[in-house]
Amino acid sequence: MQDGIQRSWLGRYNRPHDDLREFLERAEREGEVVRVTGADWDLEIGALSEIAVHKKQDAPMLLFDEIKGYPKGFRAVAGTSNSTKRLALALGFPDPKNPRDLVLAYRDRMKLHRPIPPVSVATGPVLENIDRDEAVDLLKFPVPRLHEEDGGRYIGTDDVVIMRDPEGGWINAATYRAQVHGPNTLGLWISPGKQGRQIRDKYFAQGKPCPVLICCGHDPLLFLAANHEVRYGVSELDYAAGHRGEPFQVIPSEIHGLPIPAHAEIVLEGEIDPVETHAEGPFGEFTGYYASAQSQQPLVRIRRVYHRNDPILTTATPMRPPNDILLSKCIIKAGMIWDELERAGLSGVTGVWCHEAGVARLFNVIAIKQAYAGHAKQALLTAAGCQSGAYVGRFMVVVDEDVDPSDLQEVMWAMCTRCDPAEDIDIVRKMWSGPLDPMASASTSSRALIDACRPFGRLASFPKVTQASPALRARMEEKFSEIIAKI
């Protein structure tokens, strides 16, 4: 284990979990898991996931067993890392008091983080069962239909799609939705501009099918990496291993030699056809809409299925926020934007938050301690254009350091009292978007850059905020501690 990462693994355990199963055991010991028996794969898994996350923040993980029509032990799980405690558990951080603690921990981790390439091994639990060619049946697993208007059953929602770039040879691992079409065929919907789309199109340009692995049950660290914008050319397998401090073990796949995570639950291997297509969608997406209508997408033929005994299918249910991946996505994305701002040379950042109401992409807030004229505008432009903040954005807001960027009430107060709409709002057009954005046109959209900071030239003379001083608050908290505890 790398020394820097080892020092930062400060959670309840002195080592990272080995796989999803060990993570589930740890989460259950922490009271973070609710077991559900007898749910139907048709709509009930999705609806229960929605009810859980809409009931309260930090909703528990749901572990489904005895799913209708499937044997006991063929399970599905939702919301693996979508609470502050579970995300800290996955990343090896101390228990946080609030989500902002995790953003700070992530930022500190990135100062030490180094990608760690996987280690190739000959065997692993994922090879306990191998279905080949005619024996492949994707619906042997409890693949859910999540929303009432979905076009079918989706085996890939909390998935990791693994491809090898035909030019550079590097491995990309990303999350793209995968709809089951038949026993051995499915469709992958990949948004324009995404790295997997670029790799796929390179094979298609050569008239070749694109080799692919689709991992449908895995360590939540892999999903956290696959579900975010890691730099082009950096493998998400390496990036995720950098967080655990140890390399992932991988097994070369039988057909294409792609790296199968050795401790995964379910992995599909096949090729994306450069010619044949099939109707895919619609699907209720992360923006909270059925934003992409049914369309013809390249057909994926699955020739191998590798899975463990009693496999666990990882699922996610995108929907009107909140949903069972948004909280963790907000935390990680905030940390990634903060990291990119600092790597770009922006000083004075005191906080970053991506709001759940903005589906972790559409409403992002940066807090800074202003040091010079133009500092706020620089922060806005850098955050809007960085890799982690560019895709499907809408509103980027910068506030002063006295405003908590995660507190929507404080952010709106700053916007209402420190922002002159005519002077402090800029519109940038033709930014990167995609078909999942219900307002996008031709895969581009505009950004509103909102400067909600006090004018730099008036920092000293700007009216003081009406609030108790820190010293007065401290005296009151000491004198009336019992009463305050009841409030």
Q: Along the 487 residues of the chain, how does pLDDT read in single tens digits?
A: 444 444 455 567 888 999 999 999 999 999 999 999 999 999 999 999 999 999 988 999 999 999 999 999 999 999 999 999 999 999 999 889 889 999 999 999 998 899 999 999 999 999 999 999 999 999 999 999 999 999 999 999 999 999 999 999 999 999 999 999 999 999 999 998 899 999 999 999 999 999 999 999 999 999 999 998 888 888 999 999 999 999 999 999 999 999 999 999 999 999 999 999 999 999 999 999 998 889 999 999 999 999 999 999 999 999 999 999 999 999 999 999 999 999 999 999 999 999 999 999 999 999 999 999 999 999 999 999 999 999 999 999 999 999 999 999 999 999 999 999 999 999 999 999 988 888 877 789 999 999 999 999 999 999 999 999 999 999 999 999 999 998 8
- Under 8 Å between Cβ of 320 and 358: no
Q: From the CB of residue 68, how many other CB atoms can be counted at a distance below 10 Å?
A: 11
Tell me which CATH homologous superfamily contains domain 344-458.
UbiD C-terminal domain-like (3.40.1670.10)
Tens of pLDDT, residue by residue over 409-452, are: 999 999 999 999 999 999 999 999 988 888 877 789 999 999 99
Coil, strand, or helix at residue 314?
strand
CATH T-level fold of 3-315? Pnp Oxidase; Chain A (2.30.110)
Query: DSSP characters for 363-418?
Result: EEEEEE---STTHHHHHHHHHHHSHHHHTT--EEEEEETTS-TT-HHHHHHHHHHH
Give CATH 3.40.1670.10 domain extents, the chain: 344-458
Residues 6+ apart with CB under 8 A from 449: 377, 380, 381, 384, 396, 425, 426, 427, 428
Measured CA to CA, the distance from residue 433 to residue 191 in angstroms comes to 9
Give CATH 2.30.110.10 domain extents, the chain: 3-315
